[in-house]
Amino acid sequence: MEKFSEGNFIAICNKLAKKDKELSSIIKKHGHPPMWTRPATFQTLILFILEQQVSLASAYAAFKKLKEKIGFVTPSKILSLSDAELRSCYFSRQKIVYARELANAIQKRQLSLKKLHSSHEDDIRHELKKIKGIGDWTVDVYLMHALQRTDLFPLGDIALVNSLKEVKQLPHHVTKEEMLTIAESWRPYRTVASMILWHAYIQKRGIKLGV
């Protein structure tokens, strides 16, 4: 169960750059990517739910509004809010349901985030996907950013897919299988390769990250 950390992140980036000329040119042009990590908490999972299928800017606006309202985000605080209060924090009808389902699962001890720390990735995926509204993308980014596992490649992430197409000059209609084949050469460090690709995407567009 390999993890990346401040101690090995740059070395992994450099290893990937030696294997792949496009990743190397991203690092030459933009420098190493930030080591994007978040705490392995309920609050982080709520942020990932807010990030599903929307721009980062709108997810961060909702998260900021929620934090202004309740401070550090906990299951009991989420469950104490009415639909109207959650809507005022820019939660959609679906995301209100997802946030409450997750909060209930943790409060009722059906899910222990602490136990996930040392679990196998397949078990983590199985446990998290029991929760309504948590699918593969949310599990992938939790494994990558919160648990710092090294070998995830979330093809459900539009920014990652678009960056891969741009960097590798792939046709618009490239299949998932073809993209996974390209990513094979980056094993067991596909998470870090993804971060390099996200870095290229963000730098190219001048995106400011707010959380």
Q: In the chain, list all ranges with CATH 1.10.1670.40.
A: 9-36+152-205
Instruction: For 172-193, give one letter per residue: b (16+ CB within 10 A) or e.
Output: eeeeeeebeebbeebeebbbbb
pLDDT at 208: 75
Q: What are phi and psi of 173, to 5 degrees?
A: -95, 20
Contacts of residue 109, defined as CB under 8 A and 6 or more positions apart, other chains included, come to: none
Question: Which uninterrupted H or E stretch holds 208?
Answer: none
pLDDT at 57: 84
pLDDT at 210: 61
Amino acid code (one letter) for 118: S
pTM exceeds 0.85, yes or no: yes
The whole-angstrom distance between residue 91's C-alpha and the CA centroid of its chain comes to 19
User: Tokens 């993209």, residue?
Assistant: 179
Among residues 45, 137, 166, the alpha carbon closest in space to that of 99 is found at: 45
DSSP string computed for 26-64: HHHHH-SPP-----SSHHHHHHHHHHTTS-HHHHHHHHH
From first to last of the 211 residues of the chain, give the pLDDT tens digit.
Answer: 789 999 999 999 999 999 999 999 999 999 999 999 999 999 999 999 999 998 888 999 999 999 999 999 999 999 999 999 999 999 999 999 999 999 999 999 999 999 999 999 999 999 999 999 999 999 999 999 999 999 999 999 999 999 999 999 999 999 999 999 999 999 999 999 999 999 999 999 888 776 5
Q: Does domain 42-146 have CATH number 1.10.340.30?
A: yes
Q: In the chain, list all ranges with CATH 1.10.340.30.
A: 42-146
CATH level 3 topology of 9-36+152-205: Endonuclease Iii, domain 2 (1.10.1670)
